[in-house]
Chains A and B, each alone.
Chain A
Amino acid sequence: MTIELRFVVNRGAFSLDVDLEIPSRGVTALFGPSGCGKTTLLRAIAGLEQSEEGYLSVAGTVWQDRHQFLAPHKRPLGYLFQEPSLFSHLTVRGNLEYGLKRLKSALHKVSLDQAVELLGIGQLLDRRPDQLSGGEQQRVAIARALAVSPELLLLDEPLAALDLARKQEILPYLESLHRELEIPLLYVSHSRDEVARLADHLVLLRAGRVEASGSVTALFSRLDLALAHEPDTGTVVEAVVGGYDESFELTHLNFSGGCFIVAGGPHPEGSRVRLQVLARDVSLTLERQTGTSILNIFAATVDEVVAEGGAQVTVRTLIGEVALLARITRKSAVELGLKVGKKVYLQVKSVALLS
């Protein structure tokens, strides 16, 4: 089951022209610099934006094509705007019930209680929106969008207007949304971190066109995309919690190419986690180092080497199927004689556990 969409929008100097097929489950991130058309695309999907040409089908049902246009209020979706945009004339409960009341009861899949509990807003129901903090307001807005039991949840940079502390407050709720509900999420973001933490599928937008579309792990390690050439470039690795070394307080995380050892834990064994390895934290050696403090060392093959301009190069390496990027100096690359197919050892200085 997929979401198929094709939109052409012309707004003077800006034009959007996309033709996409994305999975209708999990989290798909629309990622790109501001002004690339992410929000316009999301609004077109919601029916809020006029388009010169539009086609949209979600899991086999056509919402829009040349002959029909489902009005925004008839599309079974939830929309979370950048600002919470709560109705100031209603209480939190009134806000939550606004959409729920307009939904046929046969379509109630997410109950109000479930939404309230998931977002932890039980204490706030009788307050008015102006009595809530920014983070609380956005949690209410998420619950309000969920309460209409959407078949597709659209999120337009829901964290952009919040400070770092508020972001940390909301992110776990978004992650639990992802885990506990079967609703596909389409998430607009310009933050690498959010995408690395939340997204399964990634669509890169640039100047109104699709640059690439694929899994997060695949796209984050592709050297032909701008994503791999930023200062904080890194790769995302899916892993499963293996064991816990109680004496040293270390957790073992198994992935298809081996096992990462990270500090902290214990985490529930068998749970799926996501790791981020920054390219600047990976160094290369030709022989396996002994007598080193680095715990995570993997045998790998050089897959691609791309100059960054200046003193740096980015090396794409493969540990079996899993790609990791390393950012090293051009001098090192020359001295090590790096070329495609060469066997190397990766030394990973630090690993971030994302979820």
Chain B
Amino acid sequence: MMVSEQDLTALWITFRLAALTTVILLLIGTPLAWWLARSRWRYKFLLEAVVALPLVLPPTVLGFYLLIALGPHGPVGGLMERLGGQPLAFTFSGLVIGSVVYSLPFVVQPLQGAFAALGRRPLEVAATLRASPLDRFLTVAVPLARPGFLTATVLGFAHTLGEFGVVLMVGGNIPGSTQVISIAIYDHVETLEYTQAHWISGGLLLLSFILLMGVYALNHRFSLVQR
């Protein structure tokens, strides 16, 4: 057996984490990206900078602050404790929160770009054709921004798959609970189990390539259809 049971569990946790994170990010990111693309608020750039922070920040920095926030003495973890729950540090829920923050720009930015590229015209046309604001968002903006949604979904998913620093800080590498595949690879290398590291790394490399290739191929086709 090239891949151990523990590795398979880590793989499963990673996929669950990436899928859940992507769904949450699409739910949060869509209205946020819409607002960023359309708002004329003077201080919008502040929010744009915050959204982009995870792009440049060392994941350990992000993970460190998240650990403090989610821990028993942090604002979020403390609140959870007072509400009768448990602190979020070193739990799967904590991982999800960390991943959502970490992958935020990878979902918001493609969506914001796609919404901005629409311009106001298609929505104004829809308005003069009796469509209410929500109606025109769902029936005009979303279908026309389809390439942006595809890019956002795949980037959000793939980026979460490859996460290391944040999950290590927030999750603490607990096998079966918060150990994800990238950390499992690290552990294999640490213990000189190069064969296992090869198998998993090669698999992830192939998967990431296929995902990205799919996005670019599909978006190329969409763009041909659209203009």
Contacts and interface: CB of A to CB of B under 8 A. Distances in A.
Contacts of A72: 124, 127-128
Contacts of B42: none
Interface string A58-99: 000000000000011111011101010101110000000011
Interface in B212-227: 225-227
Contacts of B6: none
B143 A79 contact: no
Contacts of A47: 127
Contact of A98 (B124, B129, B226): B129
B135 interface: yes
Contacts of A99: 128-131
B182 to A, nearest CB: 38
B126 A98 contact: yes
A5 to B, nearest CB: 17
Interface string B106-129: 000000000000000110111111
B128 A79 contact: yes
Given A79-B125, A85-B121, A73 B227 contact: no
B67 to A, nearest CB: 44
Given A102-B135, A130-B225, A130-B227, A85 B130 contact: no
A interface, size bucket: 20 to 34
A87 B140 contact: yes
Contact of B129 (A48, A83, A102, A130): A102
Contacts, number: 69
Contact of B226 (A71, A74, A88): A88
A197 interface: no
A103 B143 CA distance: 22
A236 interface: no
Contacts of A85: 121-122, 125
Contacts of B143: 89
A24 B92 CA distance: 66
Interface in B185-226: 225-226
Max chain B Cβ within 10 angstroms of own Cβ: one of A48, A78, A81, A98: A98
A144 B131 CA distance: 14
A145 interface: yes
Contact of A88 (B124, B127, B144): B144
Contacts of A318: none
B129 A148 contact: yes
Interface in B132-157: 132-133, 135-136, 139-140, 143-144, 146
Contact of A73 (B121, B130, B225): B130
Contacts of B125: 79, 81, 85, 87
Contacts of B146: 89
A56 B133 CA distance: 22
B121 A103 contact: no
A145 B126 CA distance: 10
A102 B121 CA distance: 19
B129 A88 contact: no
Nearest to A90: B143
A108 to B, nearest CB: 12
A144 B126 CA distance: 11
A81 B132 CA distance: 19
A99 B131 CA distance: 7
Contact of B227 (A88, A98, A145): A88
B128 A103 contact: no
A337 to B, nearest CB: 57
Nearest to B129: A99
Contacts of A46: 128
Interface in A143-190: 144-145, 148
B63 to A, nearest CB: 41
Nearest to B146: A89
A78 B125 CA distance: 9
Contacts of B122: 85, 87
Contacts of A98: 126, 129, 131, 139
Contacts of B121: 81, 83, 85
Contacts of A83: 121
B132 A73 contact: yes
18 contacts: A48-B128, A73-B128, A73-B130, A73-B132, A73-B133, A73-B135, A73-B136, A79-B128, A81-B121, A81-B124, A85-B125, A87-B122, A87-B125, A88-B226, A98-B126, A102-B130, A144-B129, A145-B129
Interface of A: 46-48, 71-75, 77-79, 81, 83, 85, 87-89, 98-99, 102-103, 128, 130, 144-145, 148
Closest 9 CB pairs of A and B: A99-B129, A79-B128, A102-B130, A72-B127, A89-B143, A73-B127, A85-B125, A73-B130, A88-B226
